């Protein structure tokens, strides 16, 4: 099916078009620059930017894919989680399109879309490995059995390990952060280190010049009392915590300043990144081994991180787990991931959501798409 996807949950306005599992186009415009001077996304500014950007993004996507709205089989839109006002713009646009064209509409979970994008065929034709940075493990051509598929979601607002029995209607949460998300930790630490906003890409770049072993930052929730054993798992065996790490970085900077010494910013960035990536990958691989998961979809904005991609590859490969990593431009928010999950729903014969759903800023990851309901 030809599916058009609309994304507006945060500061990216995205329109993507897929045909089944083939990506046709991915148009993204971001209001990031308008938020830089505030050091974080300002919801009201983001909403207004979506209003300006949506129609041009839609027109550009249709032109680039060389398709008309008439040819589209279904429309998919992010209905949550995210900023309420920002979500509202995409949802209203999608409802208007659906009503005007008579096409079925799917209200989609942004988080499931972040990992579901890994089911798109790699770009660039022959060779099997994806376009810009897309990689697939050796066993990617084997069919993925339900029960054996997991997903590691590492984004600006979420850090979760999931079991996916069906990407269209059966997603289980195995573990998650109990405080800050990984992307949030990157952004907060970048602020402490005066690296500007958004922090993830800046720390990724700077960490390459630093020594990750110069300082050892804590790995949250790894003590035996939280981990327990395989037979008697502790309450937080598959969970993460990043707020203590952020505090440890702040203390470290203060100590250098108090001693009148220059702050080794690159070393701190590298050591911080190593702590985040180490604990994310070790717990994710542990959960997969203990739950019999053999295939993992990696997704979310932090999945663009070079060290996370590298260490996840290494540890999954050592554990015999096949890892599916999206290309860099499909990690951060975009419309193609929404279209990709929409196409999965169409192909699975899932009922469309209709137009009587509301955006849900705290939609849980276990709700893949909003169920159809009559106006009440």
Instruction: Kindly state whether residue 198 participates in binding ligand ATP, applying the rule CB under 6 A.
Output: yes
Position among 26, 31, 78, 155 found at the interface with ligand ATP (CB under 6 A):
155
Alpha-carbon span 263 to 284, nearest angstrom = 32
Taken in order 280, 281, 283, 287, the sign of the CA dihedral is: positive
Position among 12, 180, 333, 360 found at the interface with Fe ion (CB under 5 A):
333
Residues in region 8-47 near Mg ion by CB under 5 A: 10-12
Residues in region 12-71 near ligand ATP by CB under 6 A: none
Instruction: Kindly state whether residue 267 participates in binding Fe ion, applying the rule CB under 5 A.
Output: no
Query: Was 292 annotated as part of a binding site?
Result: no
Dihedral class, residue 147 (left if φ above 0, else alpha if ψ from -120 to 50, else beta): left
Nearer to Mg ion (CB atom), residue 12 or residue 295:
12
Instruction: Kindly state whether residue 8 participates in binding Fe ion, applying the rule CB under 5 A.
Output: no
Position among 183, 210, 220, 335 found at the interface with ligand ATP (CB under 6 A):
183
Taken in order 234, 239, 243, 248, the sign of the CA dihedral is: positive
Position among 157, 175, 352, 359 found at the interface with ligand ATP (CB under 6 A):
157
Query: Was 110 annotated as part of a binding site?
Result: yes
Instruction: Kindly state whether residue 189 participates in binding Mg ion, applying the rule CB under 5 A.
Output: no
Nearer to ligand ATP (CB atom), residue 103 or residue 309:
309
Q: Which does 304 bind (CB under 5 to 8 A by kind): Mg ion, Fe ion, ligand ATP, none?
A: ligand ATP
Ranked by CB distance to ligand ATP, the top (closest) residue is 301
Position among 20, 131, 133, 201 found at the interface with ligand ATP (CB under 6 A):
201
Least Å from the CB of residue 330 to Fe ion: 11
Alpha-carbon span 204 to 268, nearest angstrom = 12
Nearer to Fe ion (CB atom), residue 137 or residue 157:
157
Query: Was 333 annotated as part of a binding site?
Result: yes
Alpha-carbon span 91 to 61, nearest angstrom = 17
By rule CB under 6 A, what count of residues binds ligand ATP?
25
Least Å from the CB of residue 124 to ligand ATP: 21
Instruction: Kindly state whether residue 93 participates in binding Mg ion, applying the rule CB under 5 A.
Output: no
Query: Was 9 annotated as part of a binding site?
Result: no
Nearer to Fe ion (CB atom), residue 137 or residue 300:
300
Instruction: Kindly state whether residue 369 participates in binding Fe ion, applying the rule CB under 5 A.
Output: no
Query: Was 204 annotated as part of a binding site?
Result: yes
Least Å from the CB of residue 265 to Mg ion: 24
Cα 304 to the center of its chain, rounded Å? 9
Least Å from the CB of residue 340 to ligand ATP: 15
Alpha-carbon span 181 to 243, nearest angstrom = 9
Instruction: Kindly state whether residue 12 participates in binding Fe ion, applying the rule CB under 5 A.
Output: no
Nearer to Mg ion (CB atom), residue 202 or residue 221:
202
Choices 68-76, 143-151, 183-191, 356-364 (CB under 6 A): range interacting with ligand ATP: 183-191
Instruction: Enumerate binding residues for Fe ion (CB under 5 A).
Output: 155, 333
Instruction: Enumerate binding residues for Mg ion (CB under 5 A).
Output: 10-12
Instruction: Enumerate binding residues for ligand ATP (CB under 6 A).
Output: 9-10, 81-82, 110, 114, 155-158, 183, 186-187, 198-201, 204, 300-302, 304-305, 332-333
């Amino acid at each position: 099916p030809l599916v058009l996807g609309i994304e507006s949950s945060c500061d990216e306005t995205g329109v993507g078009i897929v045909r089944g599992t083939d990506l046709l186009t991915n148009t993204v415009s971001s209001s990031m620059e308008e938020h830089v001077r505030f050091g974080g996304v300002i919801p009201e500014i983001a909403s207004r930017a979506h209003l300006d950007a949506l129609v041009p993004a839609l027109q550009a996507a249709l032109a680039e894919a060389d398709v008309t709205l008439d040819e589209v089989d279904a429309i998919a839109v992010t209905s949550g989680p995210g900023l309420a006002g920002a979500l509202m713009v995409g949802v209203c646009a999608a409802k208007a399109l659906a009503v005007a064209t008579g096409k079925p509409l799917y209200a989609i979970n942004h988080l499931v879309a972040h990992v579901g994008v890994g089911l798109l065929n790699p770009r660039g034709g022959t060779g099997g490995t994806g376009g810009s940075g897309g990689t697939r493990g050796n066993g990617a051509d084997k069919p993925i059995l339900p029960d054996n598929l997991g997903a590691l979601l590492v984004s600006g607002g979420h850090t979760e390990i999931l079991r996916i029995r069906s990407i269209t209607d059966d997603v289980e949460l195995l573990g998650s952060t109990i405080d800050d998300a990984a992307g949030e930790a990157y952004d907060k630490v970048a602020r402490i280190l005066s690296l500007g906003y958004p922090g993830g890409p800046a720390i990724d770049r700077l960490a390459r010049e630093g020594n990750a072993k110069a300082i050892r930052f804590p790995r949250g929730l790894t003590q035996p009392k939280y981990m327990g054993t395989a037979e008697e798992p502790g309450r937080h065996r598959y969970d993460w915590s990043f707020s203590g790490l952020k505090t440890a970085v702040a203390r470290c900077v203060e100590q250098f300043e108090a001693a009148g010494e220059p702050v080794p910013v690159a070393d701190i960035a590298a050591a911080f990144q190593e702590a985040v990536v180490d604990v994310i990958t070790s717990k994710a691989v542990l959960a997969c081994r203990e739950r019999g998961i053999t295939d993992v979809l990696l997704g979310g904005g932090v999945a663009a991180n070079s060290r996370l991609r590298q260490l996840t590859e290494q540890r999954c490969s050592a554990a015999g787990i096949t890892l599916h990593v999206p290309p860099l431009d499909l990690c951060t928010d975009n419309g193609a991931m929404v279209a990709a999950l929409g196409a999965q729903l169409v192909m699975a014969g899932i009922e469309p959501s209709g137009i009587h759903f509301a955006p849900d800023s705290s939609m849980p990851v276990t709700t893949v798409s909003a169920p159809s309901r009559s106006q009440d």
